[in-house]
């Protein structure tokens, strides 16, 4: 069975297990899924990343989202088979969309601040232009993030 098939199998078991307890299946870690089907956590972590990429093409049963980084990353089901989502799943999709935008903006600003801006201490003309671009990018990202959050939290008619 492929990694994608293994993730589907583990997610099916996870969903059945949680529903059997009367709990809405939401968040999980690679360790949880790995334990359900008896595979190493490292394999499951790799397969979850492959699954994440494959879901872009609609070739997976579930749609999952990663909410943290690293081996202890927290994952969440954002769409279940059949496309019937409960209210908490629908809410989480909006929360995840805002998280992804915030995270991308934060990473861009951090990369600029840690990798590009330190050179600006020399105050050459190039460094000054880089500083101007950094300020502009930070301001544009703030505006963009605000617009995204406003659109995602608007009430629908």
Give me the phi and psi of 27, to 5 degrees please: -95, 150
How does residue 108 score in pLDDT terms, banded at 50, 70 and 90? Answer: confident
What does pTM read for this prediction?
A: 0.69
Is the predicted pLDDT of residue 87 greater than 90, yes or no? no
Q: How many whole angstroms separate alpha carbon 95 and alpha carbon 78?
A: 10
The reported pLDDT for the residue numbered 83 is 66
For residue 100, CA distances in Å to 42, 67, 111, 142 come to 24, 8, 16, 14
- Residue 51 in contact with residue 61, Cβ under 8 Å? no
Q: How far apart are alpha carbons 89 and 142 in whole angstroms?
A: 27
Q: Is 155 exposed, middle or buried (0-12, 13-18, 19+ CB in 10 A)?
A: exposed
Question: CA–CA distance from 107 to each of 75, 76, 102, 103, 141 (Å)?
Answer: 20, 21, 9, 6, 11
Q: With cut-offs at 50, 70 and 90, classify the pLDDT of residue 38.
A: very high
pLDDT averaged over the chain? 84
Tell how many helices (H) and how many strands (E) occur in the chain. 5, 3
Residue 57 reports pLDDT greater than 70: yes
> Who has greater pLDDT, 118 or 12?
12
């Amino acid at each position: 069975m492929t990694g994608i098939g293994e993730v589907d199998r583990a997610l099916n078991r996870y969903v059945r297990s949680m529903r059997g307890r009367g709990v809405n299946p939401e968040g999980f870690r690679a360790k949880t899924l790995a334990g359900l089907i008896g595979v190493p956590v490292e394999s499951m972590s790799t397969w979850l990343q492959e699954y994440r990429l494959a879901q872009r093409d609609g070739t997976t049963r579930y749609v999952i989202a990663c909410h943290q980084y690293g081996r202890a990353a927290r994952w969440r089901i954002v769409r279940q088979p059949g496309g019937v989502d409960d209210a908490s799943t629908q809410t989480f999709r909006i929360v995840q969309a805002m998280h992804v935008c915030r995270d991308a903006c934060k990473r861009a600003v951090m990369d600029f601040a840690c990798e590009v801006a330190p050179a600006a201490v020399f105050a050459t003309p190039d460094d000054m232009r880089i500083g101007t671009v950094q300020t502009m990018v930070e301001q544009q990202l703030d505006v963009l993030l605000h617009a995204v959050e406003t659109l995602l939290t608007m009430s629908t008619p």
